[in-house]
Amino acid sequence: MKKVRLFRYVLALAFFSICGMTSAQSAENGSDDANVVKEDVICAPEYKGGIENLYKFIKDNFDYPEDCRKRYVSGTIEMEFTVEKSGEISSVGVLKGIDESVDDELVRVFKAMPVWTPATRNGKPVRYKVSMPVTLKISRSRNGTKSNFGI
């Protein structure tokens, strides 16, 4: 199957590169201060090279299924996966799909992703579940079909 050149992608997932702060109350046995607030610093996982390289990887490895291209199947697929402590991708799935062929191809690409920089909590690697929209758009053009890809 010919690889379809997918282009024009939009970058909008800031949570991959932004660290957040969460608070949790902590009360130790025998402590006089039962309302001590402990700050947990959680940094989300990041694809090596950033979000632009993530979408470049997907674009370069995604083969638009021929039957879907002929039917102009387009839409937004909500993907979900886990970045393990090691940075490996696991539990890849589709939360909301558009067509079984396209969904399966996107799952294949996500399973083939290289290792990420894992999420951290107080500096220690942790598992982190990610959900991410991927928009595929195919339309007619003078020279055949034209595909757009993004989030």
CATH number, position 92 = 3.30.2420
Provide the angle, in degrees to the nearest 10, between the axes of the packed helices 51-61 and 100-111. Answer: 120
In a domain, 11, yes or no: no
| Nearest CA among 42, 47, 14 for reference residue 124 | 42
pTM, entire model: 0.70
Overall domain count for the chain: 1
| Nearest CA among 113, 107, 116, 109 for reference residue 49 | 116
In a domain, 33, yes or no: no
Instruction: Give residue-wise pLDDT tens across range 28-77.
Output: 444 455 565 567 889 999 999 999 999 899 989 999 999 998 899 999 99
- The domain containing residue 116 runs over which residues? 45-150
Instruction: Give residue-wise pLDDT tens across range 69-99.
Output: 889 999 999 999 999 999 999 999 999 999 9
